[in-house]
């Protein structure tokens, strides 16, 4: 009973075979997924996919790389969509200092507005973080994001920052990189994060786990992430998958 908490089934990479990808996931034991929309193109499709499958849900938000394109009308639209019965989170949002499309000041402004929106509609938030951990934690603290909590999506930083995230009611989600042979940071995090705050994901079609690294990722591969974490923690696959599934159900308020 696997729960992939972050997948982009709405990506163009699945245009030709989306149904087959979803069926492979179900056949592998991935019973729940959250499809993340992050702009005008991907948000409607995330909801459309969620409407078609009982155990697939959607998140709606605005990606920091495209923050420069985000208008107040877009944020109003996201707020309206948050009332949809299959929408369970706001995001992905955050900061991305790797790409330079959107100035940092604009990224921070859009990030703060989305945190405020999530608090208004009482929904957890999904954080995208690339090379911006200190600033993200500072903004989350200043905006009192602990009121709604959320997910540090595909956590890729030192264990030193984990406690600050836990203190704000955030879960730590790990994906494909935890399976990479030389990826010491995610492996250390996988072992040390409290089990009741751990989630798993694929971020498919990106970040494909070993041994498929370099190929298109898909939600069925979240099983490889779960197997690796279970091995690292010295626990059974069943216990790991049941716990992470129940953590996700709790966070997203799915009955």
Query: What is the per-residue pLDDT for 254?
Result: 97
Residues 6 or more apart in contact with residue 226 via CB below 8 angstroms: 2, 200, 237, 240, 241, 244
Residues 21-42: pLDDT tens digits? 999 999 999 999 999 999 999 9
CA angle centred on 77, ends 139 and 63, rounded to 5°: 45
- Confirm if 94 and 132 have CB atoms less than 8 A apart: yes
In terms of residues, how long is the chain?
A: 255
pTM of the model: 0.97
Relative orientation angle of helices 222-233 and 237-251, to the nearest 10 degrees: 110
218: pLDDT confidence band, cut at 50, 70 and 90?
Answer: very high
Residue 222's Cβ-side half-sphere holds a number of Cα atoms within 13 Å equal to: 36
Coil, strand or helix: which one is 5? strand
Query: What is the per-residue pLDDT for 230?
Result: 98
| pLDDT, mean over the chain | 97
Q: What is the three-state SS of 127-162?
A: EEEECCHHHHHHHHHHCCHHHCCEEECCCCCCHHHH
Residue with tokens 């991907």: 42
Residues 43-53: pLDDT tens digits? 999 999 999 99
| Phi, psi (deg, nearest 5) at residue 31 | -90, -25
High-pLDDT (> 90) share of the chain, %: 99
User: Which residue intervals of 5-71 are DSSP H helices?
Assistant: 18-28, 42-52
Domain regions of the chain by residue span: 2-251
Query: What is the per-residue pLDDT for 138?
Result: 98
149: pLDDT confidence band, cut at 50, 70 and 90?
Answer: very high
176: pLDDT confidence band, cut at 50, 70 and 90?
Answer: very high
Query: What is the per-residue pLDDT for 208?
Result: 98
150 bridge partner residues: 125, 170
Query: What is the per-residue pLDDT for 118?
Result: 98
Cis peptide before 110 (omega within 30 of 0): no
CA 169 to chain centre: 15
Query: What is the per-residue pLDDT for 251?
Result: 98
Q: Lowest-pLDDT range, 71-75, 97-101, 166-170?
A: 97-101
Q: Which long-range contacts (CB under 8 A, 24 or more apart) does 85-88 make?
A: 86/47, 86/50, 86/51, 86/56, 86/57, 86/58, 87/47, 87/50, 87/57, 87/58, 87/59, 87/60, 87/123, 88/34, 88/57, 88/58, 88/59, 88/123, 88/124, 88/252, 88/253, 88/254
- Confirm if 177 and 154 have CB atoms less than 8 A apart: yes
Q: Which CATH number fits domain 2-251: 3.20.20.140, 3.20.20.70, 3.30.565.10, 3.40.50.300?
A: 3.20.20.140
Residues 76-108: pLDDT tens digits? 999 999 999 999 999 999 999 999 899 999 999
Residues 177-211: pLDDT tens digits? 999 999 999 999 999 999 999 999 999 999 999 99
Rounded mean pLDDT, 218-232: 98
- Confirm if 133 and 106 have CB atoms less than 8 A apart: no
């Amino acid at each position: 009973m696997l729960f992939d908490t972050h997948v982009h089934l709405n990506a163009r990479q699945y245009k030709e075979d989306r149904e087959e990808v979803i069926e492979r996931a179900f056949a592998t034991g991935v019973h729940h997924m959250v499809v993340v929309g992050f702009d005008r193109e991907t948000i409607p499709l995330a909801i459309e996919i969620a409407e078609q499958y009982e155990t697939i849900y959607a998140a709606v938000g605005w990606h920091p790389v495209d923050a420069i394109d985000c208008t107040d009308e877009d944020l109003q639209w996201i707020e309206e969509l948050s009332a949809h019965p299959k929408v369970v989170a706001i995001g992905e949002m955050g900061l991305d200092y790797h790409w330079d499309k959107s100035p940092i000041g604009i990224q921070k402004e859009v990030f703060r507005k989305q945190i405020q929106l999530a608090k208004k509609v009482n929904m957890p938030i999904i954080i995208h973080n690339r090379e911006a951990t200190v600033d993200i934690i500072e903004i989350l603290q200043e905006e009192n994001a602990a009121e709604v909590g959320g997910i540090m999506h595909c956590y890729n930083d030192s264990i030193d920052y984990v406690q600050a995230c836990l203190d704000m009611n955030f879960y730590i989600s790990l994906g494909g990189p935890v399976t990479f042979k030389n990826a010491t940071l995610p492996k250390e995090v996988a072992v040390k994060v409290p089990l009741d705050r751990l989630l798993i994901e694929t971020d498919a079609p990106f970040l494909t786990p070993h041994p498929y690294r370099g190929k298109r990722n898909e939600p069925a591969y979240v099983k490889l992430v779960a197997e690796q974490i279970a091995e690292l923690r010295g626990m059974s696959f069943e216990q790991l998958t049941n716990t992470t599934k129940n953590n996700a159900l709790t966070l997203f308020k799915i009955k």
